[in-house]
Amino acid sequence: MLFYSNIYLFLFLPISLLLFYFHKLLKFDHKTLLIVCGIFFYSWWNYKYVPLILLIIFINYFFALKLTLTKSNKLILFFSILFNILILIIFKYLDFFILNLNYVFGINLETYGLPFPLALSFITFQVIAMLVNCYDKEIENLRLKDFFIFIIFFPQLIAGPIVKFNYMIKQFNNKENQKFNLVCFNLGILLILIGLVKKILLAENLGNFVDYGYENINLLNFYLSWLLTFSFTFQLYFDFSGYIDMATGSALLFNIILPKNFNSPFKSLSIIDFWKKWHITLGEFLTNYIYSPWAKSIKKLNFTKSMMLIIVVFLIAGIWHGPTWCFLIFGLIHGLGLVTNHIYRKNTIFELNTFLSCFITFNFVNLSFIFFRSQNFLEAFSILNNLVNYSRIIEITNNLALVEILDIKFYLIFLSAILISFFGINSNQIFEKYKQN
């Protein structure tokens, strides 16, 4: 069930809201209703995976309970994290491993072709963070219903943001949040509308050209290749941030505030700055639950070792996005970019002006997204070759389908994407401004 589908906007969401605000008349607990709504929402994608999500919830609740009730037990924490990683590997990476084994050793093992369960990547990171919090005794009096709704709350179920248990449960337990709040409701509707504009008007129209360009790379010249890369960068941003706006807006209708996940990332002046503004909750997870614990375990940690660790962490971040070598390279590029940025900050004797810093950062990110979108290295390197192939600058394609896609509407949308990304206010600023009024 997509956030921008009619069934979500005009049936599922309104019915869920009515049930939520009239739960006392129905003699149901509000958490129970939200759990039922979450399971229904999850089952709409593929009901066959409902037993899997239930298994993940109950087993992780057992682990979490053990971690909260016993003294610091690294063995329980280890096996709980291992369990979640193995589930993710089986459903997301098993075929990737088999294909690479076949290639390296010249064998012919069969792949399993398992469909990827909805939201498994985000659930895995979210649960791991929660288990670590239990181990650190930051979570007490853990109840199954609280853990259940923490996982299955449908507005942030599909693709985040990655939330913390205590942050969410405090809101679910607040009795004031069970009452209708006109400010939250109006702001929620506004954010959903903003998300719809981003997704349907901007991302989907840019995506039409991106899909066609990647399916017909042989038709791309110098100009079209650059246009393709920029189009995908904006498509990805407006698609993901639009989803986050709709998720945030949906949660606000239930008086739940989700953490911000984007903050005008294309205005960033460095790669370090970019990762503080792009997919913010992922960056925080990587820092708090992978980089920092790993860094603390290293004896005589120095600048060189910390930089190597950053690269390893972003290799993990890259492959987390998907089981392909291109995603791994995407992570490596950003890891190297962060290291270069840190080295520059440590040793620089001059500062770049704001415009140049923003220009360099955006183009670095834009080029890295070629690997994010490409299915294989051949696609990626074909596009990269076109970007520097000056001999094809004036080459003109007469392909009718391409001419129809690149009409005045496309260029108006492309220009709008630039203006909004670099000069417009973002959803967080609208949120804060609306709350103050």
Residues 122-152 have pLDDT tens digits of 999 999 999 999 999 999 889 999 999 999 9
pLDDT tens figures, 307-359 = 999 999 999 999 999 999 999 999 999 999 999 999 999 888 788 899 999 99
Question: What average pLDDT does this structure show over 270-276?
Answer: 96
Q: Which of 23, 30, 321, 342 is catalytic?
A: 321
pLDDT of 395 above 70? no
Per-residue pLDDT band for 282 (boundaries 50, 70, 90) equals: very high
Q: Which of 3-7, 327-331, 365-369 is predicted with the least confidence, judged by mean pLDDT?
A: 3-7
Question: Does residue 161 have a cis peptide bond before it, meaning omega lies within 30 degrees of 0?
Answer: yes
List all residues 6 or more positions away from 335 whose beta carbon is below 8 Å from its beta carbon.
310, 311, 312, 313, 314, 315, 318
Look at residues 50, 115, 419, 382 and name the one whose alpha carbon lies nearest to residue 267. Answer: 419
pLDDT surpasses 90 at 114: no
Type of residue found at 110: E
Does the pLDDT value for residue 255 go beyond 70?
yes
What is the reported pLDDT for 26? 76
Taking residues 83-112, what's their average pLDDT? Answer: 93
Would you state the pLDDT for residue 398? 64
C-beta separation of 239 from 199 below 8 A: yes
Provide the pLDDT for residue 238: 97
Question: What is the residue extent of each domain of the chain?
Answer: 6-179, 185-436
Q: In this model, does residue 306 exceed pLDDT 90?
A: yes
Sign of the CA dihedral with 19 first, then 24, 28, and 33 last? positive
What is the rounded average pLDDT of the residues 249-266? Answer: 95
- Report percent pLDDT > 70 for the chain: 97
Mean pLDDT of 158-185: 91
* pLDDT, mean of residues 41-58: 91
321 is catalytic: yes
Taking the mean position of all CA atoms in its chain, how far away is CA 20? Answer: 27
What three-state secondary structure class fits 233?
helix
Q: How far apart are the first and last CA of the chain?
A: 34
What pLDDT is stored for residue 379 in this prediction?
95
Q: How much of the chain exceeds pLDDT 90, in percent?
A: 76
More confident call, 391 vs 71: 71
Burial of 43 per CB tally in 10 Å (0-12, 13-18, 19+): middle
State the pLDDT confidence band at 405, using cuts at 50, 70 and 90: confident
At residue 436, the pLDDT reads 64
pLDDT for residue 318 = 96
- What pLDDT does residue 437 have? 61
Q: What average pLDDT is seen over the chain?
A: 92
Q: How many other CB atoms sit within 10 Å of the CB of residue 373?
A: 21
